[in-house]
Amino acid sequence: MAWQSLKVETSDAAAERLSDILLDLGALSASIEDADAGTDQEQPIFGEPGEEPPGVWNHSVVSALFDEDADIPALMEEAAQAAGLDLAGRWTVEPLEEADWVRLTQSQFDPIPITRRLWIVPTWHESPDPSAINIALDPGLAFGTGSHPTTRLCLQWLDANLKGGETVLDYGCGSGILAIAALKLGAGRTVGVDIDPQAVLSAKQNAELNRVGGEFYLPNEAPSFQADVVVANILTNPLKVLAPMLAGSARAGGRIVLSGILSTQADEVAAVYGQWFDIDTRREDEGWVCLSGVKKA
């Protein structure tokens, strides 16, 4: 069986309404994505502790899946009328052939070498180096598989700098990959925090899979403590907003590790965190930057 994949560009005000209308018109699924993802205009969606996330992106794409025999032009006319929108020229459709999606997805994820002794290994693969520190991790609903440059940069920092026994806070933990790596590299108490309940659940499951004892919480449930190492792999805007809180979570003389930063934004982030930290390291990978520094006394 084949399907039709429909994508409609729209504003944040209309995205959810249009998504609901397409479902009412027979869409098998519908989702909202950032139309500017992967560009300098990419807009992070995040919420602060105690607050609800603010909604959807200003410039959105509504993606919907229809049966292969659906009359998409007629459906779009009906959707435009129901939503009170002019959608002419703002939608595209392409066929989507049937596939073994499990095998197709798995084929895209091979073991990832992070350093000479640290690997990320999907559970359907054998480790290329059984003597290495191997983190078992499958792609899932939470960010962090080791394939993105920002995750690799943070993992490389942890491998190079953890000596053993450090307390670690992983803020924006996603899949829990950084917290799990820290524990496997010898860290002491390690706490992961994320605003997404699915990420917290995923991190707990991944920690159990890797037989490590990390703690994972939503922001309002997280314990208050000052860590030896605070790592935050998020995006530039939330990093700037969260700076006072993250700075307060690091002990004097402790380390901060920041990523999710485009190279063009690194100086801006470094200036914000320079109020509390001596930023002494900047590493770059594929246009993404990892900053780290020591908290001032």
Strand 277-285 to 227-233 pairing: unpaired
Mean pLDDT across the stretch 221-247? 96
User: What is the predicted pLDDT for the residue at 103?
Assistant: 55
For the stretch 29-57, pLDDT in tens is 999 888 766 666 665 554 444 444 445 56
Is pLDDT of 287 > 60?
yes
- Secondary structure element (H or E) that encloses residue 204, with its range: helix 197-209
Q: Which domains does the chain have, with CATH numbers?
A: 3-98 (3.30.70.120), 110-295 (3.40.50.150)
User: What is the predicted pLDDT for the residue at 138?
Assistant: 83
pLDDT band at 269 (very low <50, low <70, confident <90, very high): very high
For the stretch 165-221, pLDDT in tens is 999 999 999 999 999 999 999 999 999 999 999 999 999 999 999 999 999 999 999
CA distances from 255 to 56, 143, 156, 248, 252 (A): 33, 23, 15, 12, 9
pTM of the model: 0.68
